[in-house]
Chain A
Amino acid sequence: MKKIEAIIQPHKLEEVKEALKAIGIDGMTITEVRGHGRQKGHKEVYRGMEYQVDLLPKVKLELVVTDARFDEVIQTVVSSARSGKIGDGKIFVFDVAEAIRIRNDDRGEGAL
């Protein structure tokens, strides 16, 4: 099992969700986050007031998938979240040691 953590542009969320749904992935956790990568922040001037915008709004998507589906899911996220511009985001992948369904104590891939 792998955990996929994708930081994407907010406006790409619907597209990514739809694309995942189309390949049968429904379960995910979505968080509104702020941060910056290489895009860094920028200074913004509005009517004489300077605002340092150093944390840019992004959306974090977390999901855990079986090893068998891993490549397909990554491909789907990458292609649906990509606009080709700076700030498209990043994906991080972790190995998952165990998954447990709290309701009935199901373990392993069956608990996903």
Chain B
Amino acid sequence: MQPSLVQRTAQVDAIVTEAYARIQPAVSVVAVGGYGRRELFPYSDVDLLLLTPGPVQGVAEFLQRLWDSGLRIGHSVHTPAECCEIHEGNLELTISLLDQRYLCGDEAPYAALHQLFPKFVASQRDDIVSHLAAMTRGRHAKHGNTIYHLEPNVKEFPGGLRDIHVMHWLHELGCGNPVPYDDAQAFLFDLRIKLHHFFHRDNNFLTFEAQDQLSDDPAQFMRNYYRHARQIDRAVLRLLELSEPAARSLFGQFRDWRSRLSTPEFTLSRERVLLRHPAQLETDPSIVPRLMIFVARHQVALAPDTEMRLQNAPAMQWSWPALRGLLALPRCSNALHALADLNLLERIIPEWAHIDCLVVRDFYHRYTVDEHTLVTLDALENLAASKDPRRDRFARLFSETDHPEILRLALLLHDIGKGAGQGDHAIRSVEIARAALHRLQVPEQDQATVFFLIEHHLDLSSIMTSRDLSDSSTALRIAAASGTLEQLKLLTLLTYADISAVNPTAMTDWRLEQLWQTYLVGYQELTRELESERIDNLENTPTAAEFLEGFPTRYLKTHTPAQIASHLDLAQRLNAVELVRVKGAYQVTVVSPDRPFLLASISGALASFGMNILKAEAFANRRGQSLDTFVFDDPHRTLELNPGESERLHDVVLEAVLGKLDVEKLMQKRRRPPIHSRIAPHISFNNMLSESSTLVEIVAEDRPALLYDLTNAISSEGANIEVVLIDTEARRALDVFYVTANGGKLSSERMTELKARLFNVCRS
């Protein structure tokens, strides 16, 4: 117990008893609420219950005397029977009676209450508990279900004193253990006393002013506050969960039905995951990542028992594959929140401690840095589920990203350098992230992407508010900052999530539009550069220079030195085909002299094997050598199930490259009756973007052999394909071609003809 509160209670007891002795109305005087618990804060109301069997004389005079003595009295007058009724309006009284303490006066009414009340509570227990739970959850919801407020109310907000009371009441109602007077409770008691003295009234808001006055280091002080509040918040939610009577509703039955999700390791009870063999935590720590993946995949929560065991389990190291497995799931932020709540995120990424409960005090930020970071992941997740048409375009962008786990990893670390010294926190975050990713053994290429995203995470939001988007220098700046289209997309999504997580209303329509315009400006510039920016004057070995000169600069940005070296190797042969497996798909790389129909032949060869082309890139160097890369998946598992097929595919592609294959004949065998496409094709031509070629952009429903048909149509029109970038997203193919005819841009007649042909291809 807090000694000064007990002392004040005793003083007030003496005043009340003395006032009673002078008037002696025929009532029992009972202390209730905080006063009943002997927790009377300096400026809190003194809550009294006057128990009486009926109307009595002298009550007004008694209260008058107490008022005059300077006490702030809150009183109610009831019969013992009234105290044992349950209805909505009475709940507060019922709960305050859980802390009753007889002070003085007529003993008979109190004796009656003493006899009735325990029976009443016992018979109505479930109802009282449900009411209390509903009230608590309602109060939490009203305050955003978060402890992280910059100016919290230390009594009412989640993690505040009220939650300690709730736990205490639940214990009185037979749920849970007695609430110990621990560090967290002592901290809040002490804080509330100080606040009362600071404001000279019952004000429980820990305002900025109070924070400055009550401590020398407000940031550290608030960190302390959040850590204690978090402990209380978690404890009360856990106890509520255990105390609430099992739901008898239809939803409850549904939840039980969901228990079929159980696996040999985990079982579900009321949407909460339990470990079947808790001892496994000791022997096989790798169960933890599997558990969290289960939590994310099925969108369920950990059972209180599981949480406790996890916290007590021996520290485990997560490998990158384990973390990647979690971050790659479309909905994983619930699992990350859980890890953070249990202080387990710090075990996976010890650097997390830098931002744990870290306050950034400014007008805009609503959350502490760690909470902000987790909310960015929520924002990304909500994007995919959003039905808001204004967010649709960002959602599409997100569905185009190949490695959402890299984006999520960058988000987790983007602010990790905050609170670690002066200067640009983006740069510090990169430094700190470097150590973390090195320890996790994240592949170097992915590391580079994460560092890039962290370093530039403020660039787009700064450009969108301070640069003229219609100025060509802004376009160049965005393109230079992002390097490639893929990185620009990731950076746009990161910025989207980052702004959305500043506070619930930070992502206004205004910002949404500005960010999109910024993305568009960069997108157009990067697409234009595909054709116009060529590699030139390389200070390289003569062979390397000869091979590379004339490729778009994109080539250098999207390939590692090892990949370039392997392309150089291939280039030593006149016609080279290489087939490799990459991350769940296949990739074929072709280096050969450029010729009409080359691209069509290769895509036809792949299609004839039933391969589904996901991505493709093709460009030629100054010597007329073309480098074509296709990434495809194998929906029928032909290559996996038939060991010889890989070699045959290689040979068929080589034949196609050499022009020895009648692709059209091969294709005819595989043609299926046309399915009417559900996505209206979009085909646009642009003669302005490039100095020497025409840009053809095609968006169409993806289908087998689409790329073959498109490239075939372009070549049949006598047009030469200079640069190609093919992507797919869900069921849509997103194709960019730069084409020429007779060494220049397409004439308007040719464009009209080609457009008609391409439309036919997309519609069939």
Contact = CB atoms under 8 A, between A and B. Distances in A.
Interface of A: 9-11, 13-14, 32-34, 44-49, 51, 53, 55-57, 83, 85, 87
Contact of A32 (B470, B511, B680, B734): B511
Contact of B734 (A47, A53, A83): A47
B682 A47 contact: yes
6 contacts: A11-B469, A14-B466, A32-B508, A47-B699, A47-B734, A49-B396
Contact of B684 (A45, A53, A56): A45
Contacts of B510: 32-34, 57
Contacts of B513: 34, 53, 55-57
Given A44-B520, A48-B681, A48-B699, 20 more contacts: A10-B464, A10-B514, A11-B466, A11-B469, A13-B465, A32-B511, A33-B510, A34-B510, A47-B396, A47-B697, A47-B699, A47-B734, A48-B700, A48-B732, A51-B393, A53-B513, A53-B517, A56-B513, A57-B510, A57-B513
Contacts of B511: 32
Interface string B512-527: 0110010010010000
A56 B469 CA distance: 12
A29 to B, nearest CB: 14
Contacts of B523: 46
A25 B200 CA distance: 39
B686 to A, nearest CB: 10
A56 B514 CA distance: 9
Contacts of A32: 508, 510-511
Nearest to B514: A57
A41 to B, nearest CB: 11
A98 B15 CA distance: 55
A51 B394 CA distance: 13
B511 to A, nearest CB: 7
Contact of B682 (A9, A48, A57): A48
Contacts of A47: 396, 682, 697, 699, 734
B468 interface: yes
Which of A9, A44, A51, A53 gathers the greatest number of chain B CB atoms within 10 Å? A51
Interface residues of B, number: 27
B471 to A, nearest CB: 9
Interface string B462-506: 001111111000000000000000000000000000000000000
Contacts of B734: 47
A48 B699 CA distance: 6
A41 B238 CA distance: 53
B691 interface: no
A59 B511 CA distance: 11
Nearest to A46: B520
A9 B468 contact: yes
A11 B699 contact: no
B625 to A, nearest CB: 30
Nearest to A14: B466
A34 B699 contact: no
Given A32-B510, A48-B699, A49-B393, A85 B466 contact: no
A57 B684 CA distance: 27
Interface of B: 393, 396, 464-470, 508-511, 513-514, 517, 520, 523, 680-682, 684, 697, 699-700, 732, 734
Contacts of A44: 520
Contacts of B467: 11
A51 B682 CA distance: 14
Contacts of A56: 513
A79 B508 CA distance: 29
B231 to A, nearest CB: 39
Given A47-B734, A55-B513, A10 B520 contact: no
A46 B699 CA distance: 10
A32 B734 CA distance: 34
A51 B464 CA distance: 19
A15 B561 CA distance: 44
Contacts of B697: 47
A89 B492 CA distance: 27
Nearest to B509: A34
A53 B523 CA distance: 17
Nearest to B510: A32
Nearest to A15: B466
What 3 A-B pairs have minimum CB-CB distances, sorted nearest first? A48-B682, A48-B699, A32-B510
A87 to B, nearest CB: 8
Contact of B468 (A11, A46, A53, A57): A11
Nearest to A33: B510
A77 B523 CA distance: 33
A14 B462 CA distance: 12
A14 B465 CA distance: 9
B465 A10 contact: yes
Contacts of B464: 10
Contacts of A10: 464-466, 514
Contacts of B393: 46, 49, 51
Contacts of A34: 509-510, 513
B684 to A, nearest CB: 7
Contacts of B514: 10, 57
B615 to A, nearest CB: 15
B472 to A, nearest CB: 12
A70 B175 CA distance: 70
Nearest to A12: B468
